[in-house]
Structure 1
Amino acid sequence: MAAVQGQPQVLKFKEQWVEGDQQAWNHFNNGDPSTTNHVEGWHHKINNQMKNCHPNIYILLDIIKKEQAANEAKISQHANGGKQRPRKRVYRQLEERLVRLKDQLSIGEMDTMSYVDAVSR
């Protein structure tokens, strides 16, 4: 009985994620971040600057103004030839590994299941 009840969910999953418009959710070739970790990091930073969970609107505006000023300073430094802080080595190595695996998949040196297995490690 459980298999019969679950059948519509399986069909819906297959329709949405396997046969549907993969461009809507697949980040394989877009070059942009595939997660929202950068946004979550920014949100965490803002939350840490607040003294309580429900700040006064003026306190929130002050925090946002300071964040804006810091970002404008970084943009100005970068535009004038300043160097950005390098990413941590572990993240550079991870990205290099993922790019290498993606290239191997793209040129046919690796099949899809091998790629999925290698990426998951």
Structure 2
Amino acid sequence: MKRQQAEFSGRAGEAKAALWLRAKGWQILDRRVKTSAGEIDLVARRGRIVAFVEVKWRKRKDELDHAIDERRLSRVAAACDAVAHRYAQDGEDIRIDVILLAPGTFPRHIANAWQP
């Protein structure tokens, strides 16, 4: 039951993050992209930037600071490497962003969160 609730919360968080990105001028290109290396929650474009976005939803604001770590970001980076050619055109910049969400807070968007 906990796993199902976590899945539901995760999907709801991804939907909220997508709405927030659209409000900030981003176009959502794809959701829940699965690769052999891992999953990318959202793929978005604004101008000449394509962002591969990891979304983290937590029940409490104070849990957000520990929601993402280098291991998780490295998996997103590996997944991004596998599919970036599908989304980015010649000359477009790609980056990995993180959006952190909790009840009663505005989304926290960390641009270019992964820099190997």
Q: TM-score normalised to the size of structure 2?
A: 0.24
Larger Rg: 1
More strand by share: 2
Q: TM-score normalised to the size of structure 1?
A: 0.23
